[in-house]
Structure 1
Amino acid sequence: MDPVLAELADRIRAAGAQGTPLRIRGGGTKDFHGERLEGEPLETRGLHGVVNYEPSELVVTVRAGTPLAELEQVLAERGQCLPFEPPHFAQGATVGGMVAAGLSGPARASVGAVRDYILGLNLVNGRGEELVFGGQVMKNVAGYDVSRLMAGAMGTLGLITEVSLKVLPIAPAEATLRFRIPQDEALKRLNAWGGQPLPLNASCWGPDDGGVLYLRLRGAVAAVEAACRSLGGERLDTGGAATEWNACRDQRTAWFAQAGGRDLWRLSVPQVAPVLDLPEPPLVEWHGAQRWVRVDAAQGRHVRQQALAAGGHATLFRTARSDAHDRMTPLAPPLAAIHEQLKLQFDPHRIFNRGRLYPNL
């Protein structure tokens, strides 16, 4: 076993024997996310480097502590990318953190989520055992797909040490269009465009100036140019637009900066959900499926009720309040029982990221 990995496994076994909680940590860029942080840090940055990269096969295997920016640079040099555009939020984001958080960027509604690109991974469980799941091809799963189970588990099931990912070529053409329209009209158009053969890739509507919709197109040159002609709108400079899309991905735009100490809620709802009764107009992404809203603490319950009524759920994504709880939508009893059993199988001593995903896990 690799010396760094062996040392981590020894620490895990010792923690299990003593019942000492461990907090898995890569770059720490998502420490704000989840219920709470508890335990001694278990650093993954020593697990560094690209293990194998086959550009012709569109597959890369990388160690969990590798900086996400480093992996993206390696892929870009061969004209490839992680199409789901994982958020960084700050410098130092790692590949393992990307998988554990399970968060995707602006293109998620069009290309899929992090979990859809995981081919396999290596994991150290709560007993200090190294487990290998999946592989390096798409059709390699028989039975329970444990690899993708780790996406969004927030490190509560084990220490991810290595991940194999499917990658894709960078699209040959890209364009961003701007439309000055209110939220209801933006949702109506996005739903209509979704039923047409258009190279839609990302969208973002914000309430500034009465409402502005940004629509990103990606694909073949002919397809993008034809869509620009048929959709209308104002075409923006591609370079400047790319900077803004990245800023939106990492929550660095003016809208996020103007939270003013209020709580930031993330609503995940069906794309066809109508305008919701929220304390303020939201920022709308993913063709209507992801909506961000900034509210006072007392308004959080109403926000969650609106998401549930629309057939979705709501997460308290960022808050400055140390007493905040139930940031994730509580699970229904049958789902809670499944989570409990999974936790016991992978982490019988309950040492990994206690309370990070749900208070009792």
Structure 2
Amino acid sequence: MIADNDITSTLQEKVVAAIADQQPLNIKGGGSKAFYGNTTTGIPVQVAPHTGIIAYEPSELCITARAGTRLQDIEALLAANGQMLAFEPPCFSPDSTIGGVIASGLAGPARPWSGSVRDHMLGVKLITGYGKVASFGGQVMKNVAGYDISRLITGSMGTLGLILEVSLKVMPRPATELTLTLDLPSQEAFELVTTMRNSTLPLSATCYFDGCLYLRLSGVASHVVASHRKIGGEPLNNPDQFWEALRNQTHEFFQQYDRPLWRLSFPSSANVISRLEGNSLIEWGGSQRWVYTNIPVNLIRNIAHKGEGHATVYRGSLPGVNPFHPLQPNMLSVQQRLKQAMDPHSIFNIGRMYKDW
């Protein structure tokens, strides 16, 4: 087995060589999210061999692992101790890595109630665009001045540095869970979920698909039972299978490959889904909406903009269209300055998010 220091040194040497040769790198983990974002050229750099749990103490609610560690292995360890990654990251294949989880920033059904990937980041070690190994943050939550680099790295698609290690906050698994189903028209479902978001009901996930609203309740048994009586609805058989299929996108809705799949994100109060043609599935209490549609790109992105949200071509491609929503000029300037500061020689995953950077 190759020692951790040897792997780190090898990765660092590749970054240093890329800087010297002005040769971009294509950072690869498990490859399960290769469909997401633009295709990037460059010398492939495999991070998957960089594996292993570095530190885990259940009582501290924190885990530190190398970037190539398989997500399944981390979750199995946490489950054995009655804990979980509360943001429920999707696991698209057995090869999915924790580094890929952080780089993509994708979260599952619990995200509005438990927080995003970024909210659970405690620290990160990475190889910078200067060819140096640097650590940011730690294993406990702290308030610090300036940029929180570990959170900036989250969702950056490998464009700001090569992730070596991550430290994440973990949470206890809920004592009781119950999933309810209610057959409702879309508007009534939206109004019910909006009301529930502002209540004390132990809501932990929602989904609206094919005329049915799915509500997951999580917490102490007495609160879950009392909430069921208040809401009504029928308990769902095999709820774990349903939410896992939704999280890992093996649900039937995601099995359509004949046209691009859009992901639209809106503030929870936005009610614009009726303006979008096509087959859809709504998550996150209305904040995340998956749509297969033939609406022109400029129109669907205009709808997203007016709703103070954004529209991403999540899977599939459209000629001449960048998958990620165009940035406003002020945000574009910030992002470009950040890229320049973190990757001054332009070697990390060039073009993966936006053209030329």
Q: What's the TM-score bracket when you normalise by the shorter of the two chains?
A: over 0.9
The residue correspondences of 1:1-361 to structure 2 (distance < 5 A) are 2-206=5-209, 208=210, 211-237=211-237, 240-257=238-255, 259-276=256-273, 277-296=275-294, 299-319=296-316, 323-361=319-357
Partner Cα distance (1:101, 1:265) in 2 = 16
Give the partner amino acid of 1:212: C
Cα distance change, pair 181–89 in 1 and its aligned pair in 2 (3 A): same
Partner Cα distance (2:142, 2:226) in 1 = 35
Residue 91 of structure 1: how far off its partner (Å): 2.2
Deviation track 1:290-317 (CA, whole Å, cap 9, x = no partner) reads 0000023x63332222111111010000
TM-score normalised to structure 1 length? 0.95
Give the partner amino acid of 1:279: E
RMSD: 1.3
Q: For structure 1, which segment, 302-311 or 164-173, has the greater mean C-alpha deviation from structure 2 after superposition?
A: 302-311
Partner Cα distance (1:58, 1:255) in 2 = 35
Give the partner amino acid of 1:253: H
Cα distance change, pair 60–353 in 1 and its aligned pair in 2 (3 A): same
Question: Structure 2: any 5+ residue segments left out of the alignment?
Answer: none
Give the partner amino acid of 2:243: W
Indicate the SS of the match to 1:175.
strand
Q: For structure 1, which segment, 35-44 or 10-19, has the greater mean C-alpha deviation from structure 2 after superposition?
A: 35-44
Residue 142 of structure 1: how far off its partner (Å): 2.9
Q: For structure 1, which segment, 331-340 or 193-202, has the greater mean C-alpha deviation from structure 2 after superposition?
A: 331-340
TM-score normalised to structure 2 length? 0.96
Q: For structure 1, which segment, 24-33 or 138-147, has the greater mean C-alpha deviation from structure 2 after superposition?
A: 138-147
Deviation track 1:121-158 (CA, whole Å, cap 9, x = no partner) reads 10101221001100111125332111100110000000
Q: For structure 1, which segment, 299-308 or 151-160, has the greater mean C-alpha deviation from structure 2 after superposition?
A: 299-308
Deviation track 1:90-117 (CA, whole Å, cap 9, x = no partner) reads 2211000000000100000111000000
Give the partner amino acid of 1:283: L
Residue 260 of structure 1: how far off its partner (Å): 4.4
Indicate the SS of the match to 1:2.
helix
Identity within the alignment, %: 45
Partner Cα distance (1:31, 1:260) in 2 = 15
Partner Cα distance (2:280, 2:29) in 1 = 31
Partner Cα distance (1:144, 1:126) in 2 = 17
Indicate the SS of the match to 2:13.
helix
Residue 46 of structure 1: how far off its partner (Å): 1.8
Partner Cα distance (1:183, 1:23) in 2 = 43
Q: Is the 8 A contact 1:134 1:140 kept in 2?
A: no
Q: For structure 1, which segment, 138-147 or 217-226, has the greater mean C-alpha deviation from structure 2 after superposition?
A: 138-147
Q: Is the 8 A contact 1:187 1:272 kept in 2?
A: no
Partner Cα distance (2:338, 2:248) in 1 = 31
Structure 1 runs, 4 residues or longer, greater than 4 Å off: none
* Aligned pairs, number: 353
Give the partner amino acid of 1:149: L
Partner Cα distance (2:134, 2:115) in 1 = 26
